[in-house]
Structure 1
Amino acid sequence: MPEGKIIKALSGFYYVLDESKESGKVIQCRARGIFRKNKVTPLVGDYVVYQAEHDKEGYLLEVKERTNELVRPPISNVDQAVLVFSATEPTFSTSLLDRFLVLVEANHIKPIICITKIDLLKTEEARETIQAYADDYRQMGYDVHLTSTIERDGIEQLTPHFHNKITVFAGQSGVGKSSLLNAMSPDLALKTNDISTHLGRGKHTTRHVELIHTAEGLIADTPGFSSLEFTGIEAEDLDLYFLDIKEKSRACKFRGCLHVKEPGCAVKEAVENEEIREYRYQHYLEFLTEIKDRKPRY
């Protein structure tokens, strides 16, 4: 049976890119009743087995095992997330960035940090501040790219990351995600206008997930993470999603240390010695409190 990848889901139809054929045909498929019976909902990004009735239509028979699965947006097998934040307009927020990083790490997705609009930094002090943040996150082990779509700074360095990958974009509103896509692939100009329109918040806008070809990979045409709550993340696991804290926590005296008031905490010691940035530790404490105060779901 032929296999492929779902690149769009709309109105009960699943559009499967047949990757076994050189032609790269897209087959419009419906899901068999067995999926409903087994409570399996096919997602964009799924690798599937399908049966083609003819060149353009068929039925899904099987969904292959997923490496990961997001609820909002509904997509699976995501390789990486580009977290897009502007250097200014809106102001760069380490708190929001750390929230996104935790969500991405918890879903076993590789994060790439992209700071846009660096051309709008008019003072040396402002440039040094952003550069210092970029250096901090690089030191933690993250890929960080400083970009300007106006001056095309950093675009060539960012583009190779997308080769043969499924990528989602997420981050602050108004940071110029569409402009970034356009800068990477100018032939997508019309497509990104469509994206901007149907990612709007109006009552009558279409909201669906679709994978679009660009930069030799597939990018999810989606509003990104619409839920920023730490659902499913437990307090004792939070430090796993802060790379700098995770590294130091191995030396804590007590197993299961939450790095708050416990004696012999290597993380608190690292903060005092400025080996972990104070703002990162404060965000960890804020998120920990939020998780502990979360109302249980029954």
Structure 2
Amino acid sequence: MKKGQIVKALSGFYYVKSDDEIYQTRARGLFRNTSESPLVGDIVEFQIENETEGYITSIDDRHNFLNRPSVANIDQVLITMSLFSPKFSFYLLDRFIAYAEMHDIEPVIIVTKTDLSDDPELVQNIKETYSMYPVYFTDKINVNEDLLPIFKNRLSVLAGQSGVGKSTLINTILPDADLITDEISDKLNRGKHTTRHVELIEIAEGLIADTPGFSTIDFSLIDKYNLMYCFIDFNEYSDRCKFRECLHINEPKCAVKDAVASGALAQTRYDSYKQIFEEIESRKERY
């Protein structure tokens, strides 16, 4: 019995990396009787049938997983936002961040096209609003020194605005990583009738999922009482609210609302919270 990580899933086969070798495996029939299926990123035990093939016998407990893209045990999500064309959106970024926090994934914010904007106030506002997270502006960083180290020993996925291709994101984020960029670009240029699959690619001593990332956010799995915990900058103030289960919406003597009023918390963050909260509320009413 061996142990390894699934690095690719394709046409019913799972490719498991173990001791620098790749084994083509299938899932045992026992998984058909459960709702659980192996995912790329899973740590699994597998039985070897010959030198390069085998079958998966068990899946270790997952730290987290996403359905779109179908990846497990994600450490960080690189949320790429354009400063200009399309215009930067605090609300869209907040949705991505809340979705990442909901899945216990660390957000890393990458702001592109900063050289096309002449709005230093906006740049400063972004820095201050998201000071609790790593924020990188692509015209301000040395890729090799500043950005590549964040991949080490981590599994990363991408997120970005709809219509922004992954190869563009990778080229923007990692302009010096030609080999990685070419590999991902080649995969992106597969014919439209070619089978698509999820694969983990080695990058800077870490792994990045070869998927377009996610651009659609679904909050159907979170309730209104837990949403506040996806806004980690609220935590500093929420303990001071008068009511223990304060939702920071209509309750009196709410320390979060007071912090927004005083400028200690960004108004945009609170506005985003309220908008997502209302989305969750309206969903509950429909169902």
TM-score by length of 2: 0.93
Check 1:167–1:39 CA distance in 2 against 1; reply closer, same or farther (3 A cut). same
1: CA distance, partners of 2:272 / 2:26:
45
1: CA distance, partners of 2:174 / 2:107:
21
Which string of whole-angstrom CA distances, capped at 9 and with x for unpartnered residues, describes residues 215-262 of structure 1? 110001112125312111111111101112232111110011111111
Q: Report if aligned partners of 1:181, 1:192 keep a CA contact under 8 Å in 2.
A: no
2: CA distance, partners of 1:209 / 1:224:
10
- Which residue number in structure 2 is paired with residue 127 of structure 1? 120
- Which residue number in structure 2 is paired with residue 238 of structure 1? 227
Q: Report if aligned partners of 2:47, 2:56 keep a CA contact under 8 Å in 1.
A: yes
2: CA distance, partners of 1:142 / 1:153:
16
2: CA distance, partners of 1:178 / 1:205:
22
2: CA distance, partners of 1:111 / 1:163:
15
The Cα of 1:52 is off from its aligned counterpart by: 1.3
Check 1:181–1:2 CA distance in 2 against 1; reply closer, same or farther (3 A cut). farther
Check 1:5–1:184 CA distance in 2 against 1; reply closer, same or farther (3 A cut). farther
TM-score by length of 1: 0.89
Any idea what SS the aligned residue of 1:235 has? coil
The Cα of 1:181 is off from its aligned counterpart by: 5.3
Q: Which runs of 5+ in 2 are unaligned?
A: none
1: CA distance, partners of 2:40 / 2:213:
14
Cα root mean square deviation, aligned: 1.9
Any idea what SS the aligned residue of 1:289 has? helix
Q: Report if aligned partners of 2:224, 2:280 keep a CA contact under 8 Å in 1.
A: yes
Q: 2:111 aligns with which of 107, 110, 115?
A: 115
Matches within 5 A, 1:98-113: 98-113=94-109
Q: Is 1:174–2:164 an aligned residue pair?
A: yes
The Cα of 1:297 is off from its aligned counterpart by: 8.9
Which string of whole-angstrom CA distances, capped at 9 and with x for unpartnered residues, describes residues 116-150 of structure 1? 122222x2xx1331232123211xx11111114xx
Any idea what SS the aligned residue of 2:197 has? coil
Check 1:154–1:96 CA distance in 2 against 1; reply closer, same or farther (3 A cut). farther
- Which residue number in structure 2 is paired with residue 15 of structure 1? 15
**Structure 1, 207-216 or 174-183: larger mean CA deviation:** 174-183
Q: 1:145 aligns with which of 136, 141, 147?
A: 136
Q: Is 1:227–2:216 an aligned residue pair?
A: yes
Amino acid paired to 1:147: T
Check 1:281–1:35 CA distance in 2 against 1; reply closer, same or farther (3 A cut). same
Q: Is 1:42–2:7 an aligned residue pair?
A: no
Q: Which runs of 5+ in 1 are unaligned?
A: none
Q: Is 1:63–2:59 an aligned residue pair?
A: yes
Amino acid paired to 1:106: M
Q: Report if aligned partners of 2:238, 2:256 keep a CA contact under 8 Å in 1.
A: yes
The Cα of 1:209 is off from its aligned counterpart by: 1.2
Check 1:145–1:191 CA distance in 2 against 1; reply closer, same or farther (3 A cut). same
Q: Report if aligned partners of 2:79, 2:160 keep a CA contact under 8 Å in 1.
A: yes
2: CA distance, partners of 1:188 / 1:223:
15
Matches within 5 A, 1:277-292: 277-292=266-281
- Which residue number in structure 2 is paired with residue 31 of structure 1? 27
Relative contact order (C-alpha < 8 Å, sep 6+): which is higher?
A: 2
Q: How many residues are paired up?
A: 283
1: CA distance, partners of 2:215 / 2:257:
33
1: CA distance, partners of 2:56 / 2:275:
44
2: CA distance, partners of 1:216 / 1:184:
15
